[in-house]
Structure 1
Amino acid sequence: MGNSYRVTKYKGGGSAGGLSSPESEWTSYLDVGAKVGLEEYLIIEGQYVGFVRDVCKLSHVDRLEVQELEVFVEETNYKDGQKIVLPDALNVVREVLREQIWCKLVSEKVEFHFGYDYYMYVICPFELPELLKGVPTELNVEDFESPYI
């Protein structure tokens, strides 16, 4: 599909030069109440959800397919191979970030993969930083091959 990017909430560099989380940083939804308050968590979660929404809108994608679904709660509204409209896909992003499910969200134009510690990967045929100029986001975007390809 072309270009692969890693999207993170992290600002600092790690020993390998890429963005990484300091030990004191929250890296899981399970940290809500211990390392991060719910209000701050929801702000960051909203940035990830908004990022997916904006990339889909800019690339004219209104449906994504749930692929490789793994479910960590008793039930979910989604099934592997299910094609869902963008508003439902944004709910999937929330469920992935809250560690209720894991999956890839895929279309012909763009893919979203989710890693541990709030790393998200975007695979697309276009230059993502160029596409996102003028789109407000506090998330960091860097060239990085998705480990989930």
Structure 2
Amino acid sequence: MPTLLIHKYDKSNPNYIQDWISISDIGKIFYGTVLTLDKYLKIENSYIQTIHEILDFMKIDTLEIRAIEKGFSLQYIRKNSLINAKQASFYQMLDNGVYLTQNGITEAIKLNLREALWCRLYNPKIEVNFGYDYYMGITVAEQEKIEIFKKIIEKHGLYWQEFTTSPFKLEEEFKKAKTFFWGDGQTNPSGDYHHDLRISKDDPLNRTYTEWSHFDEIENGLDWEEYQAVEQKYLQLVLDFLEFFQINHLAVNGGLEFTSIQELSVPAHYFSPQEETLFQQLQEYDETVEDWTVESFMIPKEDFTTLFQLIFKGRFYTWISTASITIQFDSSYRLYLSFYGHKKEIQQLVEKHGLYWQERQPPYKKAVGFR
């Protein structure tokens, strides 16, 4: 389906690449003048008015939230995305499947443009997506309306580029994986098929969002003892999970994503000597291995604790996968367990450690990626 990529940049001016790209640029100088909050809000409003005029023309009253990603804690986005208490409350209730009317659409556009979250706004006739550097795209089912939409975009002082297929298009399996609901896990029987559980430290049924979501918030008000208590819950759950499936070693392949202590801006004393030794070994492996599919870095059972402490603290990112299970950890301090059979037993393990679970509905028959 055709897509119009909407942006504020006049690309006939080769200096457009020096323009501001984010709400975080407020206070910086562009083209010799300071980007103020008022100037930012004026541009933001032009995006919002453009979408509403297009929706009005198409007689569309609601859009559905799909494929939502909340990558930051509420504490972080209130400071960096400049959202007030009312917007924070709205942010907390957003989830896949939520239908938005006019005011909700306005606030969802703001949150996307301010990089507080990412989601697709969907209707069978139109889909609204958001990209890096203050880009927004609309994908429509009716080609004949494209010329009208171009005029609406220009009317609000914005620019467009036309594509025959959306630059925001996701692979179909990835799109489904990010769109299905997380439920209470009771819809499906506990049969011997594939299950996907999302584990969190906060009760997801309250539709609230965590007050902290990153280890590095230890330097921004997060209590060290509180962090350790939560990490220990996750760690014991993972170790019990691996023990349940009788997994005594894990293979890590190349292409890892590493974060140094300096990049985290966290004092070195929060990391044990064992963590630093394993971190160095993984880095050396990643730099020297020639064929990731042939030679894996093997983690023995006695190093499982150290491995997951590094992952939980954000020192590096990787999928943990075997023939029977997959373990992933996201940027919002949530754990994802993917496995076959034994649904009730694993749910009980999660509850045993004082954590919360949700099951993807419906579950997949084969493993899929999470974000």
Q: Which range, TM-score by smaller chain?
A: 0.7 to 0.9
Correspondence list, 1:17-28, <5 A: 21-22=16-17, 24-28=18-22
Identity over aligned pairs, percent: 27
Q: CA deviation at 1:123?
A: 0.4
Match of 1:34 in 2: 28
- Unaligned 5+ segments in structure 1 are none
Match of 2:10 in 1: 11
Q: 1:66 to 1:10 in 2, by over 3 A?
A: same
Counterpart contact for 2:54–2:152, Cα < 8 Å = no
2:156 matched to 1:137?
A: yes
Match of 1:148 in 2: 168
Match of 1:81 in 2: 97
Equivalent position amino acid for 2:28 in 1: A
Correspondence list, 1:37-76, <5 A: 37-71=36-70, 72-74=72-74, 76=91
Match of 1:111 in 2: 127
Equivalent position amino acid for 1:110 in 2: I
Helix, strand or coil: the match of 1:46? helix
Counterpart contact for 1:73–1:100, Cα < 8 Å = no
Counterpart contact for 1:113–1:146, Cα < 8 Å = no
Helix, strand or coil: the match of 2:156? coil
Taking structure 2 as the reference length, the TM-score comes to 0.36
Of 100, 111, 115, the residue aligned with 1:99 is 115
After superposition, what is the alpha-carbon deviation per residue over 1:1-42, rounded to whole angstroms, capped at 9, x for unaligned? Answer: x21110010002488xxxx941x2100111011242111101
Counterpart contact for 1:103–1:114, Cα < 8 Å = yes
2:146 matched to 1:128?
A: yes
Distance 1:32 1:139 in 2: 20
Higher helix share: 2
63-72 vs 73-82, which moves further: 73-82
Distance 2:152 2:21 in 1: 28
Q: 1:102 to 1:86 in 2, by over 3 A?
A: same
Q: CA deviation at 1:118?
A: 0.9
Q: CA deviation at 1:89?
A: 1.0
Helix, strand or coil: the match of 1:146? coil
Distance 2:49 2:96 in 1: 23
Match of 2:304 in 1: none
Alignment length, in residue pairs? Answer: 143
Q: CA deviation at 1:116?
A: 0.4
Equivalent position amino acid for 1:139 in 2: L
Counterpart contact for 1:111–1:122, Cα < 8 Å = yes
Distance 1:40 1:123 in 2: 28
Larger Rg belongs to: 2
Of 90, 93, 99, the residue aligned with 2:106 is 90
Greater length-normalized contact order (CA 8 Å, ≥ 6 residues apart)? 1
Equivalent position amino acid for 2:117 in 1: I
Q: CA deviation at 1:87?
A: 1.7
Q: CA deviation at 1:46?
A: 0.3
Distance 2:52 2:109 in 1: 10
Counterpart contact for 1:67–1:103, Cα < 8 Å = yes
Distance 2:141 2:47 in 1: 20
Which ranges of 4 or more aligned residues in structure 1 deviate by more than 6 Å?
A: none
Counterpart contact for 1:63–1:86, Cα < 8 Å = yes
75-84 vs 60-69, which moves further: 75-84
- Unaligned 5+ segments in structure 2 are 30-34, 75-87, 170-371
Distance 2:157 2:104 in 1: 23
Helix, strand or coil: the match of 1:47? helix
Helix, strand or coil: the match of 1:104? strand
Counterpart contact for 1:110–1:125, Cα < 8 Å = yes
Q: 1:6 to 1:131 in 2, by over 3 A?
A: closer
CA RMSD of aligned residues (A): 2.1
